[in-house]
Amino acid sequence: MMKECKDFCDRLSDYLDGQVDENICILIEEHLEVCPPCALMYESLKTTVEICNRGISDDLPEEVGRRLKIFLRIHCNKEQT
């Protein structure tokens, strides 16, 4: 990877978070248009963030929820008395 490309790729995570200045944004976007490996890197990082966001379930097993409810009813009531 060329140094210039490495510098751009090092900013991609911040770029995805909207954390780079507007003038740097323009430079990154111009570079992504002319550099296929960096464009692929950007797509790949964007996909990573997207599937992390959608791919980890927040389902709570029913039994875990039931035990939590009982635990809290017992212990929180002790706090009140």
Partner 1 sequence: MEEDNQTIRYVLNGDFNAFEKLVEKYQGRIYRHLRKMVKDTSEAQDLLQETFLSAYRGLKGFAGDSSFSTWLFRIASNTALMFLRKNRPEFLQYDEQIGIKNDDKLVPASPEFVSTPLEILLSNEGRKKIEEAIDHLPLIYRTVIILRDVEGFSLEEVAEIIDSSVPAVKSRLHRGRNSVRESLGTYYMERTVNGKRRALQE
Binding residues (CB under 8 A) for partner 1: these are 1, 6, 9-10, 13-14, 17, 19, 37, 40-41, 43-45, 47-49, 51-60, 64-65, 67-69, 71-73, 75-77, 79-80
Shortest Å distance, C-beta 9 to partner 1: 5
Q: Are 49 and 14 in contact (CB under 8 A)?
A: no
- How many CB atoms are closer than 10 A to CB 50? 11
Separation CA 44–CA 26 (nearest Å): 20
- Residue nearer to partner 1 on the CB measure, 34 or 52: 52
